[in-house]
Amino acid sequence: MAGGEDLKLLGMWASPFVLRAKLALSLKGISYEYVEEDLKNKSELLLKSNPVHNKVPVLIHNGKAVCESSVIVQYIDEAFPGTGSTLLPADPYERALARFWAAYIDDKLLTAWNQSSRGKTEEERTEAKKQLVIAVENVEGALRECSKGKPFFGGDSVGYVDVVLGSLLGWVRATEELQGIKPFDPAKTPLLAAWAERFGALEAVEPVMPDVKRLVEFGKRLAAAAAGGGN
């Protein structure tokens, strides 16, 4: 793997946002130091590196901190242009389209997904499930449009949208077991279901994906803590 520079990633193993940075680094073939953070007892390095939000992930490159997962992924692609996969398209329109769908995944799909289980009322959760179905169908359409019949959102190779959506796959699979919800149903969204299998099997992806069983246990602890009013 490429490396040799002072590159450090502060993260938490179960975070899909941290996984985005891990995926980008792995796909680019870049070596780095990973530091697991205890979010209940955040390190001085994290607090100093991200004083605005105190959140992971944080990428520290040659002593300079880069924060927010989508910004980090784009930074990695731009800071290491001749290494591994190119995640953002060279064409300005294609690049804008990729950024649009990446933002849609966060703003619409992920928001609806979270609300479908965390909504305060049954009505809120039901409405969120409806919005989740719409969002997933729209992303299915985006895959059809962006891929142009090729394997990934980026075409023949993995791109920015693949990384953003791919970071959710561990929790997609854990959610199937925890809630009986199958966001990428082969009967309803066959393109996304097939894409998920292809993406997860990539040599650069598989080693950094979190263990689904561990995510399920983590999800159960979070649910129990929420039900009991704990942290």
pLDDT per position as a tens digit, 72-126? 999 999 999 988 889 999 999 999 999 999 999 999 999 999 998 888 899 999 9
Ramachandran angles phi, psi of 97, nearest 5°: -65, -40
152 pLDDT tier (thresholds 50, 70, 90):
very high
pLDDT number for residue 231: 46
CATH class of 92-221: mainly alpha
* CATH 3.40.30.10-classified regions of the chain: 7-80
Q: Which two tokens stand for residue 185?
A: 């149903």
Burial class (CB in 10 A: 0-12, 13-18, 19+), 195: buried
* CATH 1.20.1050.10-classified regions of the chain: 92-221
Candidates 2.30.30.700, 3.40.50.10680, 2.60.120.650, 3.40.30.10; CATH matching 7-80: 3.40.30.10
Residue 5 has pLDDT above 80, yes or no: no
Q: Say if CB 137 and CB 191 are below 8 A apart.
A: no
Ramachandran angles phi, psi of 48, nearest 5°: -75, -35
- Is residue 9 within a helix (H) or strand (E), and if so which, with residue range? strand 7-11
64 pLDDT tier (thresholds 50, 70, 90):
very high
Distances (CA, A) of 55 to 36, 58, 66, 70: 12, 8, 11, 13
Residue 3 has pLDDT above 60, yes or no: no
Distances (CA, A) of 219 to 132, 135, 214: 19, 23, 9
The residues near 42 (Cβ < 8 Å, ≥ 6 apart) are 54
Q: In whole angstroms, give the CA distance from residue 8 to residue 171.
A: 25
Alpha carbon 33 to its chain centroid, in Å, reads 20
Q: In whole angstroms, give the CA distance from residue 160 to residue 20.
A: 10
Name the residue with higher pLDDT: 118 or 37: 37
The residues near 54 (Cβ < 8 Å, ≥ 6 apart) are 42, 46, 47
Residue 20 has pLDDT above 90, yes or no: yes
Distances (CA, A) of 224 to 170, 181, 198, 230: 20, 19, 34, 8
Query: What value does the mean pLDDT of the chain take?
Result: 93
